[in-house]
Amino acid sequence: MQIGFWPTVRREIRRMGSRRMYLLMTLVVPVSVILFFVGLLDPGLPLKVPTAVVDLDHSPMSRAITRNLNATELVDISQELESYSDAMASIRRGEIYGFFIIPANFERDAVAGKKPTLEYYNNLTYFVPGTLTFKGFKTVAVTTAAGMVKSKLASAGLPSELTDPLLQPMAVQDHPIGNPWMSYSIYLVPSFCFGTVALLIMLMTVFSITMEIKNGTSPDWLMTARGHMAVAVAGKFLPHFIVWSVVGQFLLALMFGWCHFPCGSIWAMVVAMELFIIGCQAMGLLFSSIVPNPRMALILAALCGILSFSFLGFSFPVQSMYGPIAIFSYAFPCRYMFLIYIFSALNAFPLWYSRIYFAALIAFPLVCSLLLWRLKKACLNPVYVP
Amino acid sequence: MFPDMKSTDSTYRRPRRGISGWFDAMARVFRREWSNIFSDLGVMLFFIALPLGYPIIYTLIYNPEVITDMPIAVVDLSRTADSRSLVQSISAAPSVEVYANCSNMAEAKDLFGQNKVFAIVEIPADYARRLGRGEQATVPVYMQMSLLLRYRTLLSTLTDLQLKVAGDVTSTRLATMGASALGLDGGLPVESHNNFIGDPTQGFASFVMPGVLILILQQSMVLGICMLAGTSRERRRRNGGIDPTQIQDVPVSAAIWGKTLCYFVLYIPLAIYVVRWLPEMFSLPHVGNPVDYALFLVPFLLGSAMFGQAMSGLCTERESGFLVVVFTSVVFLFLSGLTWPRYAMNGFWTWLGNLVPATWGVEGFIRINANGSTLGETTHPYLMLWILTAAYFIVSWAVARYSATSHTRRVKSDLNVPA
């Protein structure tokens, strides 16, 4: 029997080939999930939210408002209802995500200067469509009012170059850096794909290590590696690393090549992806060292992997979380990968600003190897705890 | 405690025939499955500890609900009374905090790069002059787009500010122009008022948690079922195709229903805790009528149990099902339409989402829970859950039949697996 680093690698390749699970979980699943997110979020924004208008006025002015509402890209007036309670019932049935009420005598009151109120309702039970309807309704409500002032001023003889600054003396000019389309794809695809890849790497690393212990093959594994735990781990991880690199670079190619996400420095992303994969493997190693039994280690990896989607601050910012919870977000490679994506790719800042994140990714394998002695002990006396 | 465990007579009792025999078989499977669950610590972890503990951790993460005091940098190049009053108004807003007053854009950009501020407000040198001249002053705001929630918070703060400045300045200007006779002195002639329903605080936990709770119920149940099935497959491999802990020679349909009802009964208290108490504990929206969502959850729990048994066909080993199920949680969350609405999905994804009980569970439950819908108003998801229950019963039946007839062949191939 050959021993050393390369025989350990060959042994691992044989193990990977012997079970469909490896092919499924290291290639088929990650690629499908990546394609799922890219395909699902491809439109960027769920425009044309189904909404309703309740026109109680039936005047030329209220009809103009309805037409304006329909003309925005954000909302689609799919229903014209007769009362507030009809509209609420429609919300409860899930047919619409918001509605706009034009009160009775709206035109008469507006012209008479009685300040009628336009009311609109947005169903935030569904956050994204609710927010989009809010934006669409608010724009129309404000521009309607402004348009009336403008025509009044014009009829009083004011030139139009004076009316515009009158209506809006201060204009906020927003510059959403890197994502001027407000595309959900640009912000959700990377974060969720990194998260999924991290989850799968951690799970599969734990699986490949603890199955040795479950099946009692761990002494053989260690023997092939001349009894050195570090060699055994390196030899086991190398073939996995190559497969994950293919998946990771495929993800980057899809994001920056196919989808044309903004990318400041592709090389920073390529390097970060490799370090990220090593970091996740190291986390898997850590979990297996802490509890060298398949069930508990897998649960630990899954719990951390799934929770990391939440506390890594992709959707809700880490800065707003409770301190004792926010601190966990720094314990995962995924957080640094996400920050590198933000700074090097999306914001196109110089690499200097991402230096700490790269250093953190490099620190993961170093820190996680500290418990190797524990794993070695478990590998020498494999005990399976069901 | 469980007589079945001690005496083997119920296992090998001669089966009764007919309908009563079927029910008798089902009851025996129910009792046996119950004791199987409570004698397996790993399964109990999924069935009980997961739905009890996980929602609490999850809600705690999002419990701050809204973004407050987001650090931003201000570059005031105008340095006038007007610009200072603008900066004061900005820092008075609860959602932002002026982290630094920078002297130039380079300094602000550096802070931006260090992740210390998330936006830069640049007040141009001619800000006050333009306001004084009756022209329009523009204020560029540069925002980091890492999170759309931050962008949304900042933008709505700034829009309100813009309207406030307009209200202040316009009335003064009109008065000085002598145009107050037009009746525009008090701002715009039409007022508008928005109302958020379902999640009136616009909180993040209030929006996402009710849906996630439902998903946790389904996924924890599927995980437990897959672990039970994987363990049973391992036992069968060791015992020549027979799992001694399962009741033998009962109709497949009785076995499936016995197990389903067992999981269902086990999940009744858990579901009450998850959908009733948790929203109260964390002040999430809970305006639904308990009768409506209790009835709604019946087909959801049955459907999840059937779905789990259909999925368990994939699990050849105690731990392997786990790998398969965990990543689906993320996919199912998106398919449910909670984050990305279902009307914007293409046909394929909609169709795929239709096959998952949690999709309908989430849709129906959040409408009942946050919008106060009645069961009658959630008929579509409710009926779909019953249809899925029936469909997955047929799939589970086919899976069980297939694995029962082919276990000898499978045992051989499984034994050859080295890992």
Pair A146, A246 in one domain: no
Q: What pLDDT score was predicted for residue B187?
A: 63
B60 contacts A124? CB cut-off 8 A: no
Pair A53, A38 in one domain: no
Mutate to test the interface with B, among A34, A69, A125 (most CBs of B within 10 A): A125
Residues 6+ apart with CB under 8 A from B49: none
The domain boundary residue, chosen from A141, A167, A193? A167
SS3 A55: strand
DSSP code of A303?
H
Q: Which of A122, A127, A177 sits opposite B194 (nearest CB)?
A: A122
Query: Length of chain A in residues, anyone?
Result: 386
Classify residue A178: in a domain, yes or no.
no
Pair A238, A315 in one domain: yes
Classify residue A347: in a domain, yes or no.
yes
Closest C-alpha among A313, A307, A374, A368 to residue A339: A313
Cβ proximity of B51 and B274 under 8 Å: yes
Q: Taking chain B, what is the end-to-end CA distance rounded to the nearest angstrom?
A: 38
Domains of chain B listed by start with CATH number: 20-63+203-415 (no CATH), 71-182 (3.40.1710.10)
Cβ-Cβ contacts under 8 Å between A and B: the total is 341
Closest C-alpha among B255, B274, B231, B235 to residue B400: B255
Question: Structural domain of residue A95, as residue ranges?
Answer: 49-167
Q: Which of A164, A170, A186 sits opposite B165 (nearest CB)?
A: A170
Pair A350, A303 in one domain: yes
Pair A195, A250 in one domain: yes
Cβ neighbours of A91 in B, within 8 Å: 197, 371
CB-based contact, B165 to chain A, within 8 Å: yes
Pair A24, A121 in one domain: no
Pair A192, A143 in one domain: no
CATH code for the domain in which residue A107 is found: 3.40.1710.10
CB-based contact, A170 to chain B, within 8 Å: yes
A315 contacts B195? CB cut-off 8 A: no
Chain A residue nearest residue B347, CA to CA: A40
How far apart (Å, rounded) are the C-alpha atoms in residues B396 and B60? 37
Q: Which of B61, B134, B137 sits opposite A321 (nearest CB)?
A: B61
CB-based contact, B35 to chain A, within 8 Å: no
Classify residue A230: in a domain, yes or no.
yes
Q: Which of B148, B177, B197 sits opposite A91 (nearest CB)?
A: B197
A306 contacts B148? CB cut-off 8 A: no
Classify residue A271: in a domain, yes or no.
yes
CB-based contact, B161 to chain A, within 8 Å: yes
Classify residue A174: in a domain, yes or no.
no
SS3 A53: strand
A349 contacts B113? CB cut-off 8 A: yes
A123 contacts B371? CB cut-off 8 A: yes
Residue type, A281: Q
Cβ proximity of B165 and B128 under 8 Å: no
Pair A154, A187 in one domain: no
Cβ proximity of A33 and A26 under 8 Å: no
Cβ neighbours of A352 in B, within 8 Å: 113
B189 contacts A166? CB cut-off 8 A: no
CB-based contact, B222 to chain A, within 8 Å: no
Q: Which of B170, B182, B339 sits opposite A128 (nearest CB)?
A: B339
Pair A33, A60 in one domain: no
How far apart (Å, rounded) are the C-alpha atoms in residues A354 and A268? 9
Classify residue A176: in a domain, yes or no.
no
A122 contacts B45? CB cut-off 8 A: no
A184 contacts B340? CB cut-off 8 A: yes
The neighbouring-strand residues paired with A77 are A51
CB-based contact, B81 to chain A, within 8 Å: no
What's the number of CA atoms in the CB half-sphere (13 Å) around residue B324?
A: 23
Pairing mode of beta strands B137-144, B119-123 = antiparallel
How would you write chain B as a 3-class SS string?
CCHHHHCCHHHHCCCCCHHHHHHHHHHHHHHHHHHHHHCCHHHHHHHHHHHHHHHHHHHHHHCCCCCCCEEEEEEECCCCHHHHHHHHHHHHCCCEEEEEEECCHHHHHHHHHCCCCCEEEEECCCHHHHHHHCCCEEEEEEEECCCHHHHHHHHHHHHHHHHHHHHHHHHHHHHHHCCHHHCCCCCCCCEEEEEEECCCCCCHHHHHHHHHHHHHHHHHHHHHHHHHHHHHHHHHHHCCCCCCCCCCCCCHHHHHHHHHHHHHHHHHHHHHHHHHHHHHHCCCCCCCCHHHHHHHHHHHHHHHHHHHHHHHHHCCCCCHHHHHHHHHHHHHHHHCCCCCCHHHCCHHHHHHHHCCHHHHHHHHHHHHHHHCCCHHHHHHHHHHHHHHHHHHHHHHHHHHHHHHHCHHHHHHHHHCCCC
Residues 6+ apart with CB under 8 A from A81: A52, A53, A54, A87, A90, A99
Buried-exposed string B254-287: b where 16+ CB fall within 10 A, e elsewhere: bbbbbbbbbbbebbeebbeebbbebbeebebbbe
Residue B21: count other Cβ atoms within 10 Å of its Cβ. 15
SS3 A113: coil
Chain B residue nearest residue A343, CA to CA: B113
What's the number of CA atoms in the CB half-sphere (13 Å) around residue A353?
A: 22
How far apart (Å, rounded) are the C-alpha atoms in residues A75 and B25? 56
SS3 A48: coil
Q: Which of A174, A295, A310 sits opposite B58 (nearest CB)?
A: A310
B45 contacts A166? CB cut-off 8 A: no
Q: Which of A131, A192, A343 sits opposite B330 (nearest CB)?
A: A192
Q: What pLDDT score was predicted for residue B417?
A: 46
Shortest Cα–Cα distance, B348 to chain A (Å): 10
Classify residue A172: in a domain, yes or no.
no
Residue A160: both structure tokens together: 């139009």
Closest C-alpha among B234, B382, B408, B254 to residue B316: B234
Buried-exposed string B233-248: b where 16+ CB fall within 10 A, e elsewhere: bbebbeeeeebebbbe
The domain boundary residue, chosen from A143, A167, A191? A167
Pair A78, A195 in one domain: no
CB-based contact, A266 to chain B, within 8 Å: no
Q: Show the low-confidence residues of chain B (pLDDT under 50).
A: 1-10, 408, 411-413, 415-419
Cβ proximity of B70 and B96 under 8 Å: yes
Classify residue A264: in a domain, yes or no.
yes
Q: Which of A170, A182, A192 sits opposite B162 (nearest CB)?
A: A170
CB-based contact, A382 to chain B, within 8 Å: no
Cβ neighbours of B135 in A, within 8 Å: 165
Q: Please tell me the total count of domains within chain A.
A: 2
Cβ neighbours of A168 in B, within 8 Å: 136, 162, 166
CB-based contact, B347 to chain A, within 8 Å: no
Pair A112, A38 in one domain: no
How far are the Cα atoms of B275, B293, B378 from residue B373, in angstroms, in the given order?
15, 9, 7
Pair A272, A216 in one domain: yes
User: Angle at the Cα of A108 (from A106 to A112), degrees rounded to 5?
Assistant: 115
CB-based contact, A46 to chain B, within 8 Å: yes
Q: In what order do the strands lie in the sheet with A75-81?
A: A75-81, A49-55, A98-102, A117-123, B191-197
User: Angle at the Cα of A90 (from A84 to A94), degrees rounded to 5?
Assistant: 145
Q: Which of A18, A125, A129 sits opposite B418 (nearest CB)?
A: A18
CB-based contact, B398 to chain A, within 8 Å: no
The domain boundary residue, chosen from A114, A139, A167? A167
Cβ proximity of B14 and B249 under 8 Å: no
Cβ neighbours of B372 in A, within 8 Å: 92
Q: Is B415 exposed, middle or buried (0-12, 13-18, 19+ CB in 10 A)?
A: exposed
SS3 A140: helix
Residues 99-158 of A with CB under 8 A from B: 110, 113, 115-131, 134, 137-138, 141-142, 144-146, 148-149, 152-153, 156, 158
Mutate to test the interface with A, among B111, B120, B147 (most CBs of A within 10 A): B147
Residue B146: both structure tokens together: 């890492």
How far apart (Å, rounded) are the C-alpha atoms in residues B226 and B218? 12
| Per-residue model confidence as pLDDT tens for chain A (386 residues) | 788 899 999 999 999 998 888 998 999 999 999 999 999 988 888 989 999 999 999 999 999 999 999 999 999 999 999 999 999 999 999 999 999 999 999 999 988 888 899 999 999 999 899 999 999 999 999 888 888 888 888 887 877 777 778 778 888 998 998 888 888 899 889 999 999 999 999 999 999 999 999 888 999 999 999 889 999 999 999 999 999 999 999 999 999 999 999 988 899 999 999 999 999 999 999 999 999 888 889 988 998 888 888 877 778 888 888 888 888 888 899 999 999 999 999 988 999 999 999 999 999 999 999 999 999 998 888 888 77
Q: What pLDDT score was predicted for residue A237?
A: 95
CB-based contact, B170 to chain A, within 8 Å: yes
A172 contacts B319? CB cut-off 8 A: no
